[in-house]
Structure 1
């Protein structure tokens, strides 16, 4: 856990990923090596493009969850290495497809794959990575693992389609929004964690606990991501500010500000997000309306709620370094908003 010093000279702990990544460092190295090997293809453009997005950085959070959950459950074998790589392939494939759908030009501060190689190539390489992930599932040989990860893949795709349905629709409600982020983001978090209990052959109650932990952590994580898109801190994280606004995405901060605003303010949201008729000063006005109606603060509070559920889910596991690190991950995910 890192240390920050406030204006009064006090040293206070700041949640970080250091403990978690340190615990799984050796396993994560093996995962990264396997990813490089399994990205190989005689079609040179495939490893070139896939390597571009994998090398772009990121926390490898989803495979780290598989590795940490396996350790939490006392697993000492090697199956979790390939399955963590499988999880990362699924995630990377969805990123490639997301960037095409969203017409994104940047990914973690670098040119997105579709901006460099075009949409067609990005979609097809995403399909290749999905196929590689299923090869790894089959090689593992567990029907239970195959069922969980294949189900997660289909739910993610459903979430993508559901997001298209709600895109640029300011009448979208909180329930529909939550359904989308559960499918698009939280489902893979849940699957990544649940696998740890499966490879360790743990009882159903522990599998369910880790699924709950991952699901609620994923929801909290996405809620904070949606807050950060309207925050100056986003730039410090290597991401551009206001992408969701420019694309007309309907996220919880928007939903809350829209519902709480006047009719004139709702007309502003319709013009900017539904019609995508945006002026240079509109993003600042959007942030101002969110401040007026505390929609960012209330979204953070929702994230805290789901974070508390994730923390409770770990209660059945014995205390130890792995449990502490997974709890700190919850705090880190929410603390990003500050």
Structure 2
């Protein structure tokens, strides 16, 4: 991982602009899940750290744009770039990270470069779908999961495929692993948005719903509510809600086991990923750690 951090620092330095360096240093590195995945699949390949750095730059760029779209003031517990330096700067920094990543990506074989590049197109499409879906309450589970795959899982899937190609492993098998890891990881994040406090999250609790996002627990809750309560849930959507309304939502979710149902799906996806790479203990451990995050 230190080699990955060194590669990231080199790529940022090559942008040759102190402002880019300053702004990038403000960003929290996060879990580096995608980088760790690449290193686990291709641990001995000399270009694996560079591939991991490229994917992390792409991920960082997507988060910068995401924060602008969501008007988020914090990211991983620290002020977002759009909060400290404005949305224009955040968008431009994201553009620089994207373009630098693609500049470096051309040094890889075409199949590897295509896997990463096409995932960024899918990621951007997923972001647009997410924004569109937030315009009204969404109760369609399949539609939500499709958006989740595009916005979150595709880059993780691509990281797994690209690193498998790098070392001649079965790209299809590792793609299944990456896709399901991405989906289950995000479902757990959706659960934590409801069950964790603001200090743990690094952002306000239940922020997804306030921003207009109907994640799985809300979709499952809508399915089981009486018509009058369905209307109440819809009326609370995409606005700041008071403590009594927040408590009602959480109590109803507890009553109808919406969080447990969401976790069950994450567990099923995780199990499918484990079965795809059952002989690779390092990748199985990543899944086990992810799925055990407290909710």
TM-score, normalised by the number of residues in structure 2: 0.95
The Cα shift of 1:48 comes to 1.4
| Coordinate RMSD, CA, aligned | 1.6
SS at match of 2:106: helix
Equivalent residue for 2:209?
Answer: 245
The Cα shift of 1:216 comes to 0.4
The Cα shift of 1:238 comes to 4.1
Equivalent residue for 1:214?
Answer: 178
The change in CA–CA distance for 1:220 and 1:130 in structure 2 (over 3 A counts) is: same
Equivalent residue for 1:52?
Answer: 26
Which one scores higher on RCO, CA 8 angstroms, separation ≥ 6?
A: 1
Equivalent residue for 2:267?
Answer: 304
Are 2:34 and 1:62 equivalent residues in the alignment? yes
Structure-2 separation of matches of 1:233 and 1:61? 23
TM-score, normalised by the number of residues in structure 1: 0.83
The Cα shift of 1:169 comes to 2.2
Q: 2:194 aligns with which of 224, 230, 234?
A: 230
Are 2:67 and 1:94 equivalent residues in the alignment? no
8 Å Cα contact 1:32-1:85 kept in structure 2:
yes
The Cα shift of 1:234 comes to 6.4
**Any idea what the Cα deviations from partners look like across 1:122-158, whole Å, max 9, x if unmatched?**
0111011000110111123x10011101100000000
Q: Which moved more, 1:109-118 or 1:229-238?
A: 229-238
SS at match of 1:230: helix
Q: 1:334 aligns with which of 286, 291, 295?
A: 291
Structure-2 separation of matches of 1:111 and 1:277? 20
Structure-2 separation of matches of 1:79 and 1:226? 34
Equivalent residue for 1:3?
Answer: none
8 Å Cα contact 2:184-2:270 kept in structure 1:
yes
8 Å Cα contact 2:153-2:181 kept in structure 1:
yes
Structure-1 separation of matches of 2:114 and 2:159? 13
Structure-1 separation of matches of 2:232 and 2:21? 44
Equivalent residue for 1:325?
Answer: 282
Are 2:84 and 1:127 equivalent residues in the alignment? no
SS at match of 2:45: coil
8 Å Cα contact 2:126-2:151 kept in structure 1:
yes
Are 2:2 and 1:35 equivalent residues in the alignment? no
Equivalent residue for 2:237?
Answer: 273
Equivalent residue for 1:260?
Answer: 224
The Cα shift of 1:331 comes to 1.6
SS at match of 1:91: helix
**Any idea what the Cα deviations from partners look like across 1:22-77, whole Å, max 9, x if unmatched?**
xxxxxx10110110111123332212112211xx1411111111111113xxxx33
SS at match of 2:195: coil
The change in CA–CA distance for 1:335 and 1:234 in structure 2 (over 3 A counts) is: farther
Q: How many residues align?
A: 294
SS at match of 1:249: coil
The Cα shift of 1:302 comes to 0.4
